[in-house]
Amino acid sequence: MTTTRNRTRHPAGALVPLLAEARMTPENSGHKFARLARMREAGLTVPAFFVLSVDWHRRVTEPLRPQIDALLRSADFTEPDSLRAAAGRIRELYAAVPLPEDLEQGMLAAFDKVIGPDAPAAVRACTAGAHGEDSAQDPFAGLSDSFLQVRRASVTDRVRACWASGHNAEALLYRHARGLPLDADGIDGADGIDVAVGIQQMVPAERSFVMFTCDPRTGAADTVIAAGLGLGEGVVQEKVGVDHYFLRGPEQRVERVIAAKPERLAPDPQRPDAGPVPQPVPPELRDAPVLEDQQLSELAGLGRTVQKLFGGQPQDIEGAITADGQVHLVQSRPVALDLTLRRLWSHANITESFPGATTALTYSFAQKFYRSIFYDLYRRLGVPARTLHDNDPYLERMIGLHRNRIHYDLDSWYRLHGQLAVFPYFRASWESMMGLAEGSGPKAAPRPSPARLARSMAGVVRLIAGHGRAMAAFEIWWEALIADRRGADWSALDPLARIQDHREVWRQVGNHWGVTLINDSVLSTTAGITGKLLERWVPHEGPGLLSDLLCGDESNRSSEAVMSVLRLAHAIRSDPRLSAALRADPDPGPALWEAVRDGVYGEAFRAAALEHLDRYGDRGLQELKMEQPNLRQTPWVLLRMAGEYAATTLDGPTLRATELQVRAAAEERLTAALGARSPRLRLLRTLLAALRRSIGHRENSRYFRSELFGYSKAIFVSLGEDLHARGVLRAPVDAVHLTQDELFGWYDGSGVSGSLQALADARRGEYQRPGPDLPIGFSTLGPVRDQLPDGPATGPQHERHGDGELSGLGSSGGVVRGTARVVLDPHRPVEPCEDLILVARETDPGWLFLMLGANGLIVERGTLLSHTAITGRKFNIPTVVAVAGATTAIPDGALIEMDGSTGRIKILAPPPPAAAPDHGGEASR
């Protein structure tokens, strides 16, 4: 199938005197033909055509106006028979009207030149004007007449019929319902019933299609193609069996619904002037797909070209494919959707923070977190207070909750980022980071004025120039704020005083936290520039070089927490009694912790464990989820983690030494490649130093976020206990099924219901039965709960490069071979093995302790700068992220080999028959 461009062009309208040399426009030719002319001008393959402009329609209709007006005034639009009778009488008027001689001669001359005296044509009507057929507001789909296989001798009668079709009963009813002009008095205005007629070469189509460049059901940026055998009329009017193809997501994965096709529409061999008729399809083609994958890919690419030509607006495209594989486009019009009602949803990145099903308390708290920190970001970037006020509804709904899982509401993000004059310049990279196809979001806003852009850029430069000082000040501020609240006992304080303290903390958070988002932007920009320069200047080294160069960075709070656990592990190894106790019970409960706290295993270990809990007690698995207890609430979990490390040879000094060796070797390779005195080497070292600083700031700020959420969790836990003591809740844990406003509102009088237990019971049921996962990205159009997909995306879920091979983004170098352990629920025990390679959907900072026990990390989601990737580099663990479908493609217990530099993964052998341990699934979440 080919999509070659035209080699010859006919000047638009040159063959019709009233159009002269003017370009075809919606006003003189209708949207349908103006668009076809524009596609031909762009070099797309459109069958040659000419147009009888609306001027001809007006001239011919002039003597008929009084009678048409009278018929329309007498018609009853509530009675179908009355309207059909009026339309039929108007058709009779057109059928009898004589054509001006100059029109008839000009039309037949054009037919001979463009179509050919012995060739068939398609004669098609199109109402014109601002609200004409195929406009964005009024598609008028199927309301005007079209005639196929028209010969020269019949063309004048078909043109009259096309003019009359502007007053078809259905077209009149549509106009009446839309409040558009109906009478002939409007015929000289832009909104009158003006009809242009196009006469176009017939294409001998073997296959035909209708293609939408967005899913018309949801508005998703997917390509949807309906294709059948024979002429396109069979597909458009559903006269033949039609296959449906859905090309989903940025990767355009194909879903098919293949129909039986016993008939196709084709010219009648006995009566070629009579139009197409159904004809039998050869048996071997009846159940075969109309289109193969390569053809689908080419059509989708052509659709994107047409959509871009018309300003990025989704298109409804019709076309024909001839025996030589040539695609001929015969129509393109805007998809008649109100895209302001479309919502784009994604959980591609947010699952690192909020994996799996989430309670109402976590969701409501996360909503306020996003609103607070992004408000501060936009304020720092110079967005006026009035604009922030006007866009507050979007700040409130940056995330949504579907089937109890948190998703980004990307339309809100587009709107909010659009406040920034610089957004058009980083939109494409942001869409890529969010896993979106370029241009899949709302139509881009006009480029800002040079003055506004200059002011915005100056503000960004000032922020970046002072960023290091700002982050240092942020860390000092946070320590001063949290120091006295870290691990505090809130039960002695009046509940309303606890709420007031919480609001004070969050008031300050809203004035400071935006600087961490600026750091994220600096980090991603610096990483992108550094990666591109390395790729250009030392291409033979591959992507693993950057990972190695980022090893050995300065210590940060996240790594300090891990080092603290490793020191506890070393102490356990040195204490035979404690080692024996943990071997006897590797998953200890409160009793062993009480013994440690009472000094049974020595004062030194007791002090070290308590110090860890005081300093790092908010760091743990799924630490941002209010329903997940942290180490302060379950301190015996700390003993389990330290005991697991004690059973290995891991220790802090060795990890640090290995990390520095990896970086030193990478520095030597870079110096050898560029030269010790190279300006390029100096530039890269400067960028790498900045990148390491930004990574350190990011890890610190993420740890501070853990403390912030831990502080709020402690407040919420204390309120749950208080409500239980008052008899309002059956159990303190029920508080996690209430929103923050409902909890606070019960105490301060702002709540709307005192029946908190009833609310908690209803929410608990939804939380425990969330339903199947949704696709990583999807769209809705209209009421969101009516539009949720039935289940996760179908089709290929992982990329394979060969039998037993997958790939992702290499993030920490090294080749390792070992046993895959697929972990869906990190709270459940993992069967130990010396060569464990951890395979997960996503991770959060609390997975650090599990990660360090692995020889390799494979994660379905993430980027080069995700927490998983940073951890892998920090601790020299080969890591591959963004491996779609890894947890289903890699069998638990299989022998696999992974390359953390190239991102390639090989499944070498299936798991032994007995190796099928249950590591937890959705039901355990």
Q: Give the domain extent around 572.
A: 557-652
Q: Is there a domain that residue 306 lies in?
A: yes
Whole-angstrom distance, CA of residue 884 vs CA of residue 879:
14
Is beta strand 405-409 parallel, antiparallel or unpaired with respect to 49-52?
unpaired
Provide the token pair at 836: 């464990």
Q: What's the rounded Cα separation, in Å, for the pair 335 and 423?
A: 27
305 in the same domain as 256: yes
Percent of the chain with pLDDT over 90: 49
Task: Specify whether the CB–CB gap between 348 and 793 falls below 8 A.
Answer: no
Half-sphere exposure of residue 99: CA atoms within 13 angstroms, side-chain side: 20
Q: Is residue 753 part of a domain?
A: no
Q: Among all chains, which residue has been given the structure tokens 């195929």? A: 134
- Structural contact between residues 345 and 25, judged by C-beta atoms closer than 8 angstroms: no
Strand order through the sheet with 223-229: 253-257, 243-248, 223-229, 207-212, 315-321, 327-334
Tens of pLDDT, residue by residue over 860-883, are 876 555 667 777 876 778 999 878
The domain tally of the chain equals 4
Q: For the purposes of burial, counting CB atoms within 10 Å of the CB of 137, is it exposed (0-12), middle (13-18) or buried (19 or more)?
A: exposed
Identify whether residues 108 and 214 lie together within a single domain: no
pLDDT in tens, 215-236: 877 888 889 898 889 887 767 7
Kindly state whether residues 179 and 268 are assigned to the same domain. Answer: no
- What would you measure as the largest C-alpha separation in the chain, in angstroms? 113
Residue 777 near residue 884, CB atoms below 8 Å:
no
Q: How many CA atoms lie within 13 A of 839 on its CB side?
A: 28
Pull the structure tokens for residue 728. Answer: 């309002």
Domain boundary among 315, 337, 359: 337
* 501-518: pLDDT as tens digits: 999 999 999 999 999 999
In the block, residue with structure tokens 């180490």: 631
pLDDT at residue 5 in the model: 43
SS3 773: coil
Do 180 and 59 share a structural domain? yes
Residue-wise pLDDT tens digits, 709-746: 999 999 999 999 999 999 999 999 999 999 999 999 99
Distance between CA atoms of residues 725 and 809, nearest Å: 51
Q: Do residues 184 and 244 share a domain?
A: no
Give CA angle at 463 (459, 468), nearest 5°: 170
Q: Among candidates 139, 11, 128, which has minimal Cα distance to 58? A: 128
- Within a domain: 421: no
Q: How many CA atoms lie within 13 A of 810 on its CB side?
A: 20
Given this model, what pLDDT does residue 863 score? 58
Strands 223-229 and 207-212, sheet pairing: antiparallel
The answer on 241 and 277 residing in a single domain is: yes
CA dihedral 889, 894, 895, 899 (to 10 degrees): 30
368: nearest Cα among 802, 113, 360: 360
Q: Please tell me whether residues 54 and 193 are part of one structural domain.
A: yes
State the Cα angle at 675 between 669 and 677, rounded to 5°.
130
pLDDT value of position 209: 92
CA atoms in the 13 A half-sphere facing the CB of 859:
30
Position 305 confidence tier, pLDDT thresholds 50, 70, 90: very high
Residues of the chain by 3-state class (helix, strand, coil), percent to 5: 50, 15, 35
* pLDDT higher than threshold 50 for residue 312: yes
- Directed axis angle between helix 679-725 and helix 360-380, to 10°? 140
Instruction: Assess if residue 395 is contained within a domain.
Output: no
pLDDT exceeds 80 at position 250: no
Q: What are 678-701's pLDDT values in tens digits? A: 999 999 999 999 999 999 999 999
Q: pLDDT tens for residues 390-427?
A: 999 999 999 999 999 999 999 999 999 999 998 888 88
Residue 450 has pLDDT above 70, yes or no: yes
275 occurs within a structural domain: yes
Helix 557-573, helix 576-584: angle, nearest 10: 100
pLDDT reported for residue 4: 43
DSSP string, 334-395: E----GGGEEEEE-TTGGGTS-S---HHHHHHHHHHHHHHHHHHHHHTT--HHHHHHTHHHH
356 is written with which tokens? 């799996």
Q: How far is CA 626 from the centre of its chain?
A: 26
Domain boundary among 155, 173, 201: 201
CA 783 from chain center: how many Å? 19
**Model confidence band, residue 592 (pLDDT cutoffs 50, 70, 90):** very high
Is the pLDDT score of 833 beyond 70? yes
Of 128-132, 186-190, 275-279, 620-624, where does mean pLDDT reach its minimum?
186-190
- CATH number, domain at 57? 3.30.1490.20
Query: d(Cα 681, Cα 688) in Å, to the nearest integer?
Result: 10
Whether residue 282 lies inside any domain: the answer is yes
What is the C-alpha to C-alpha distance for residues 641 and 853, in angstroms, rounded to an integer? 10
Q: What are phi and psi of 626, to 5 degrees?
A: -65, -25
Report which DSSP code applies to 131.
T
* 235, two tokens: 């597909």
Tokens linked to 346 = 């994604």
Nearest-angstrom CA–CA distance, 351 and 348: 7
Do residues 742 and 761 make contact, with C-beta atoms less than 8 angstroms apart?
Answer: no
Helix (H) or strand (E) holding 666: helix 652-674
Q: What φ, ψ does residue 278 adopt, rounded to 5°?
A: -65, 140
For residue 183, pLDDT over 60 is answered with no
CATH label of the domain that carries residue 219? 3.30.470.20
* One domain, residues 180 and 300: no
Residue 799: both structure tokens together: 């990329």
List the structure tokens of 451: 């003055």
**For the residues 111-129, what does the mean pLDDT come to?**
90
- Report the pLDDT averaged over residues 886-903: 91
Burial 223-245 (b: 16+ CB within 10 A, else e): bbbbbbbbbbbbbbeebbbbbeb
DSSP string of 675-730, one letter each residue: -TT-HHHHHHHHHHHHHHHHHHHHHHHHHHHHHHHHHHHHHHHHHHHHHHHTTSSS
Shortest CA distance to 306 belongs to which of 30, 39, 47, 45?
39
| Helical pair 467-482 and 450-465, crossing angle rounded to 10 deg | 60
Of 349, 397, 351, 344, the closest CA to residue 374 belongs to 397
Do residues 141 and 288 share a domain? no
Last residue of a domain, one of 201, 229, 246: 201
Residue 190 and residue 240 in one domain? no
Q: Cβ-count burial of 506 within 10 angstroms (0-12 exposed, 13-18 middle, 19+ buried)?
A: middle
In the chain the first and final C-alpha atoms are separated, in Å, by: 49
From the list 144, 153, 94, the residue with the least C-alpha distance to 121 is: 153
Cβ atoms of 564 and 549 closer than 8 Å:
no
Residue 190: is its pLDDT beyond 70? no
Beta-bridged to residue 789, according to DSSP, are none
763 found inside a domain: no
Three-state SS at 428: helix
pLDDT score for 12: 38
Q: pLDDT at position 916, please?
A: 46
Question: Do 77 and 193 lie in a common domain?
Answer: yes
> Closest Cα to residue 55, out of 5, 103, 111, 118?
103
CATH number at residue 810: 3.50.30.10
From the list 154, 146, 132, the residue with the least C-alpha distance to 28 is 132
Both 186 and 257 in one domain: the answer is no
Average pLDDT, integer, range 260-283: 80
Sheet holding 399-402, edge to edge: 399-402, 405-409, 342-346, 777-781
pTM: 0.78
In a domain, 455, yes or no: no
